[in-house]
Amino acid sequence: MNDNKPEKKILGSVAVDSQTGMEHYQVPKANQVNDTNSQQPAEEPSDPIRAGFHTPNYGEKGDSEKSQNLAGVSEEFLHLFEHDPSEAIVYQATRHPVGVLAIFLMGGAATFLIITIYIFLISDSTFASSMGMNSANVTAVGGLVAVVLLAIVAGVSFLSAYIYKKSRLILTNQKVVFIQYHSLIAREVSQLNIGEVEDVNVSQPTLLDRIFKTGKVTIETAGEQNNYVLTQVENPYEFAKLTIQMHEGSIAEYGN
* Digit-coded pLDDT (tens) for 174-217: 999 999 999 989 999 999 999 889 899 999 999 999 999 999 99
Domain annotation covers residue 19: no
Look at residue 3 and tell me whether its pLDDT is greater than 70.
Answer: no
Look at residue 1 and tell me whether its pLDDT is greater than 60.
Answer: no
Most confident of 51-65, 120-134, 168-182: 168-182
Segments forming the whole domain that contains residue 111: 98-164
Same domain, 115 and 83: no
How much of the chain, in percent, has pLDDT values that exceed 90? 51
Bridge partner list, 215: 233
Bridge partner list, 216: 203
Residues found in the chain? 256
How much is the mean pLDDT over the chain? 79
Q: Which residue has the higher pLDDT, 57 or 248?
A: 248
pLDDT, residue 251, reads: 85
Same domain, 146 and 197: no
Same domain, 188 and 215: yes
Same domain, 119 and 211: no
Look at residue 65 and tell me whether its pLDDT is greater than 70.
Answer: no
Same domain, 205 and 227: yes
Region 130-150: mean pLDDT is: 83
pLDDT, residue 234, reads: 95
pLDDT, residue 142, reads: 84
| 228 within 8 A of 216, measured Cβ to Cβ | no
pLDDT, residue 46, reads: 45
Overall number of domains in the chain: 2
Same domain, 154 and 179: no
Q: How many helices (H) and strands (E) does the chain have?
A: 7, 10
Look at residue 130 and tell me whether its pLDDT is greater than 70.
Answer: yes
Assign 129 a pLDDT band (cuts: 50, 70, 90): confident
Same domain, 61 and 109: no
Which pairs with CB-CB distance under 8 Å and at least 24 residues apart come from 148-157? 149/114, 150/111, 150/114, 150/115, 153/107, 153/110, 153/111, 153/114, 154/107, 154/111, 156/107, 157/103, 157/104, 157/106, 157/107
Q: Give the gyration radius of the chain's Cα atoms.
A: 35
pLDDT, residue 4, reads: 52
Q: Which of 164, 181, 214 corresponds to the end of one domain?
A: 164
Region 214-222: mean pLDDT is: 91
Look at residue 121 and tell me whether its pLDDT is greater than 60.
Answer: yes
pLDDT, residue 66, reads: 56
Least confident of 131-140, 174-183, 198-207, 225-234: 131-140
- In angstroms, the CA 89 to CA 225 distance is 23
| 87 within 8 A of 67, measured Cβ to Cβ | yes
Domain annotation covers residue 244: yes
Least confident of 65-74, 130-139, 177-186: 130-139
Burial 60-71 (b: 16+ CB within 10 A, else e): bbbeeeebbbbe
Give the global pTM.
0.69
